[in-house]
Amino acid sequence: MSLFTKANLIRFLAGAIFLLLVLNFVGFRTDGASGTSLSKLSIRRVHKYAHIYGNASREGGGGEGLPAAPLVLSKDRERGRVPDGSPNSTLTTVIANANFTSIPQDLTRFLLGTNKPLPLGQKSTSALLANCTDPDPRDGGPITPNTTLESLDIIEAELGPLLRPGGAFEPENCHAKHHVAIVVPFRDRYAHLSVFLRNIHPFLMKQRIAYRIFIIEQTNGKPFNRAAMMNIGYLEALKLYQWDCFIFHDVDLLPLDDRNLYNCPRQPRHMSVAIDTLNFRLPYRSIFGGVSAMTREHFQAVNGFSNSFFGWGGEDDDMSNRLKHANLFISRYPVNIARYKMLKHQKEKANPKRYENLQNGMSKIEQDGINSIKYAIYSIKQFPTFTWYLAELKNSERKS
C-alpha cells in the first residue's frame, strides 16, 4: 500500500499545522503575566523582542549614555524583588497611603552642589553644552500624522536607533530644560499604540526635551480605570527619575501642529483643545481630558486623579474640579495650535456612577488619589520605544 494516499497527506498536514501552533505559543509565552495583552500573543506576535532590561545598563558604560536612574530598573525590580531584596514572587510593588514628603532623588544627586538636578544624560562634553531652548514657533506649523498601521518591530527598526531603551530620548547638542514623563493609560489598543509611537517620537524629538514614554496597562478583571492607571504611571515614573513635568496622554490622540510644546507651564495645561471628531472646537471650558500637562507640584497639590472612576467618563471633569479647588486654573494653547486627530475606535461603556462620583468628588479629595491607591505591578519591561508596566488595581469600586 502506498504511503502517499490522500488520507495520509491530510493527516500529515494537520499534524504539521498543530505542531506550528504549539511552537508559536511556546515561543511567544511571557513570564507570568497571564490574562493580559502585551504579555500574551497579541503584541508579542509582532514584537519579537524578549529583552528585559540589561541592554540599557550597557549603554552608559563609557560615560556617553544616560545614567542608570532615569533609564534602567535595578536587577531586583526586574526579577520581581522588592527594594530590600526579599523575594516576592508575584508583586513588584504595592502602594498604599504613599508618603510624598520625600520625593525620590536622581541617583546622580545634584549638579555641582546646586539645587538643579542632573540632566538625563551626563555627556563628556557637558561643560561646553548650553541649555536647550524651546523651538521657535515661526519654524513650526501644521503636520500630517502617519496613520499607516505597521507592526511594532517595523516601528522599532525606524525609531530604535534614535532612542535609548525604554522609549527615552534626550537631545545630544544641548542640555534639556524640560524633563517630561509621557504617561499613557492602556488596555486593548494595540493598533493605536503602534500608530501613536510612530508619530509621537519624531514629534517630541524636535522639541529638544528629555522624555520617556510609560505605557501603563491594567490587568483584566475590573472595568478599565484610566485615572488610576495615570496615578500608577506617575508614582512608578518617579521611582526612576525626578521628572519635573508629566503629560497624561490618551493613546488614540495624535498632535497635528508641532508648535504644541510638550512641557509644563506655571499652570496646568489642557493640550487637546481641538479634536477633529469634535469639529476642532472646545466642548466646554472646564474640560481637561485627552491630553493634559501637570508639574509634579500640581499633581501633588490635587492628590492626583480620583481612583473611583471605573469605566468611561468623569475622571477628567473631577480633575478639573480638583484644580479649581487647589486655586489652579487651566491654561491652553490657541485652537489653531492645540489640534489633534483621534484614531477610530469603538465607543467605551459609560461609567453609570460618573455623575454621582463627580458630585461627591470634592468631599473625598483628601482621601481619594495618589495617597490611597493600592496596586500591584506584575511585570515591567523595557522595549525600544516604550517602557511597559502591567498593573493590577487593588482599590475596589465603591458600592454607594
Percentage of the chain beyond pLDDT 70 is 67
Residue pair 120/107 in contact by the 8 Å Cβ criterion: no
CA distance 64 to 172: 10
Q: Can you say whether the dihedral through the CA atoms of 158, 161, 162, 164 is positive or negative?
A: positive
Highest mean pLDDT among 114-123, 190-199, 338-347: 190-199
Region 305-333 average pLDDT: 91
Q: Can you say whether the dihedral through the CA atoms of 179, 230, 97, 392 is positive or negative?
A: negative
Residue 152 pLDDT > 80:
yes
Selection from 348, 227, 346 nearest residue 288 by Cα: 227
Q: How far is the CA of 174 from the CAs of 178, 211, 232, 320, in angstroms? A: 12, 14, 31, 35
Q: Tell me the helix, strand and coil percentages in the chain, rounded to 5.
A: 30, 20, 50
What is the tens place of the pLDDT at every residue in 336-353? 999 999 998 677 666 766
Average pLDDT over the chain, rounded to an integer: 76
**The pLDDT of residue 84:** 34
Predicted model pTM: 0.73
Residue pair 286/317 in contact by the 8 Å Cβ criterion: yes
In this prediction, residue 162 has a pLDDT band, given cuts at 50, 70 and 90, of very high
DSSP string, 206-252: TTT-EEEEEEEEEPTTS---HHHHHHHHHHHHHTT---SEEEEE-TT
What is the tens place of the pLDDT at every residue in 255-300? 999 999 999 999 999 999 999 999 999 999 999 999 999 999 999 9
**The pLDDT of residue 124:** 42
Residue 81 pLDDT > 70:
no
DSSP string, 359-379: HHGGGGTTTSSTTT--EEEEE
Residue 361 pLDDT > 60:
no
